[in-house]
Every structure is written in structure tokens, then in C-alpha cells.
Amino acid sequence: MDTQRHSETVYFHIDVNNAFLSWEAIYRMEELGETEDIRKQDAIIGGDISTRHGVVLAKSQSAKKYGIQTGEPVVSAMKKCPGLKAYKPHMDYYRKRSRELMTLFEKYAPVVDQYSIDEAFLDMTGTYSLYGEPVGFAHKLKDEIRQTLGFTVNIGISSNRLLAKMASDFTKPDKVHTLFPDEMKEKMWPLPVEDLFYVGKSTAVKLHSLGLHTIGDIAVCDPNVLRSHFKSHGEVIYNFANGIDLTLTDRTEAVQKGYGNSTTIPYDIKDSESAYHTIMKLCESVCGRMRKDHVQALVLSVELKDSNFVVRRHQRTLLSPTDVTDECYAVACELFDELWDGSPIRLIGVAASKVEDGGNRQLNLFDLESHDKKRDLDNALDSIRERYGNGAIQRGSFYTSKSSAKKKQDH
């Protein structure tokens, strides 16, 4: 990076290399005392050899050579590789390692936006005087993670999140890459269209049929042609191909109020499953009210009160404002996991704040399709409840949770 960039906006996107496999390998060696590193086996995470149920969450490099894909059924993966070893995920341990990683990030970055359990954006703008040139510091940070936490990461660096994310997906593992706007033509445009965000298999086939084979082909294409074939989707991929990050447009806050709900439980909650059930009910209430008022929230918080009346609170700023129940529920459960110390719980609260006009939601390039599907589900549930009452329909997750909670209450 040249000196002209010292004062520019700088983002790191940091992604754990093969997180679930790496964390499971560390768990088995450090917690269970095993001597063999499963990363060196034909191995997958996400299944059980005895039942052959589930889907592949992660795969080793050697397993990848058999054509095993993340997301495919375990039974299919085992047919491709008869000697394949499958390991059930230990999500509690993975969340623990994730929290350690985010804590390390917070030592250095003024702003840390966790995107998922194994990746985050770090806003490193203005840190040149503290850490020096960003690429050099990224190498030091990458090495510190490997030496202190025992796993490797890739770090992508750019002036916006989209390009930082693209950069972190270049060659792996344990690498640092830059992708600034003036580097797109050399580093990004020659890549196949399949490597561009929000270009799935069917979109890629159609792009190839139009003679668009690289990201550069999309970038220089007439946007009207893309719109005619892909509608609004065409405009999105045109912007992405030109390095335009739609998540960074200015947000204007609409209504200066928050939405919250809490409940005092008639019995002490002592397990996370019962707590998750309560959190889902609270998220349904909070998000339903936001949708009714046509607003969305950028900050989500969780409050816990234990049997000794000790109150704890934890909050997170989201990448994009939302009113989607499943999105808020996922974050609320993560906040609960980070907050709860195992003490019996008497009260749980969920609150949404930094509320904005729902009609002006900015696109989050990482959740475009799933967000719309989840919102359609919420709207359908809202419609049924409005017509037939709140008890007319519930999510399937409630029934298993209720059964478990009732058993615990009876005991």
C-alpha cells in the first residue's frame, strides 16, 4: 500500500480457514487427548458414520479431492469416499473459539463487525499511526492468531467490505491479500463469473450464454442488458463487478425509539434449550411489532436476570437493519451464549434499537436471497395471526422445545 492510502478507509475481512474442521481438530487433540490431527484424514464435520444423517459442514483437503461438497448429504459423501471419517460438530466449543477470536480483534480494531461464527469485518481506518502499514500489520495479526489460538485465517484488505471479502477468498490458507479499486482490473476482473458474490449456478449459466465469462465481462457490460435479463439482480451484480459496496450507503434513522419485550419465567431456566425457546417467542413479538410499524432495527440486545436478581445485558450492531424474526433470533441466541454464566435464569428480555424506516433498508450483499425468503415467511405468519389470532400458528421449533421445557419444569 502506498503512502497516499494512509488516510483512506481501510477494512479487513478475516475468515477462519476451514473453521469447523480446524476447531474440531483442536478440540479432539486438546480436550479429548487424541494424537491424530483429523485435518490430515479423509474427514468431514457434520455427520455420524453410524446413522449417516446430516449434511457436510466442512471437509478436509484430502476429502475434497473426492468431489465432496459442503452442504451435500453425508450419505452421498460417504459413497464418494468409502473410508471417509465423519465427526459430529461440537458447536459450543466452536462458539468458544469464535469468542476468543473476536476478543483478540477487539484489542486492535476500533470497530469489529462479526458477520458469522468464523468471520468478521474490522474497520482499521485511522490506525496507521498505531500499527503502521496495514498489509504488514495484517501479517502480524494473522501470525498472532495462528500462534496463540492454534488455527489459521485469511485476511482481505480494501477500502470497502465487498472488496475486502473478495480479497480474503483469494488463495488459501494463511494468506493476506489486498483488493483496492485500482487493483480490480488486474486481480478481480479475470476471475470467472462464478466467483462474484450473488452469482449462483443458474445465474452463471445464463451469463455464460450471454457471452459473459469473467467478472470483467460483467463490469464493462451495458447495465441495461443485465437488467433486461436479470431485472434488479442484474443491477446488483453489475455494481458488485465494479466494486460498488451496497452495504456502505448512508443510513438515515427514522423513528427514535426501540422495541423490546421481556418475560419472567415461572420456574428457573437451567438449560440453553429452554432459554432459546423463550428467546424465539420474544423475537417473534419484537419483530412482529416492528413489521407492523414498517421499521427495522440495527442494534439487538439481550437481558438476563438470574435467581439472585443479578442483571446482565449484551448487545450487537448488525450489518444491516432487519425486522426478520429468524435473523434476530440467531443473533439473540449468540448474545445469550456469550452472556449466560450458567446461573438459573428468572427473566429474559430481547430489545431492538437504532430503529430505521423499513422501506429504506440497504442491501446486505451476504444475505440478499435468504433475507427475502425469511421475510416472506414472517409476512405469511403475520397474515395468518392477524386473521385467526396469535395462537393460530407456531413455528415447528416451539413444539420440541415446549416438550423439553415441560419435562424440566415437572422435575
As annotated, the active-site residues are 119
For 1-85, where are the alpha helices, taking DSSP H only? Answer: 19-26, 61-64, 74-80
Q: Which residue, 299, 287, 296, 298, is CA-closest to 358?
A: 296
Whole-number Å distance between alpha carbons of 75 and 64 = 15
Please report, as a single letter, which amino acid is at residue 250.
D
CA separation for the pair 170, 250 (Å, rounded): 29
Residue 5 grid cell: 492510502
d(CA 56, CA 116): 18
* CB-CB neighbours of 199 under 10 Å: 22
Q: Are 163 and 178 in contact (CB under 8 A)?
A: no
Query: Cα–Cα distances in Å, from 172 out to 67, 135, 331?
Result: 18, 16, 28
Residue 105 contacts residue 142 (beta carbons within 8 Å)? no
Residues 6+ apart with CB under 8 A from 273: 401, 404, 405
Q: Which amino acid is at 156?
A: G
C-alpha to C-alpha distance for 73 and 92, rounded to whole angstroms: 23
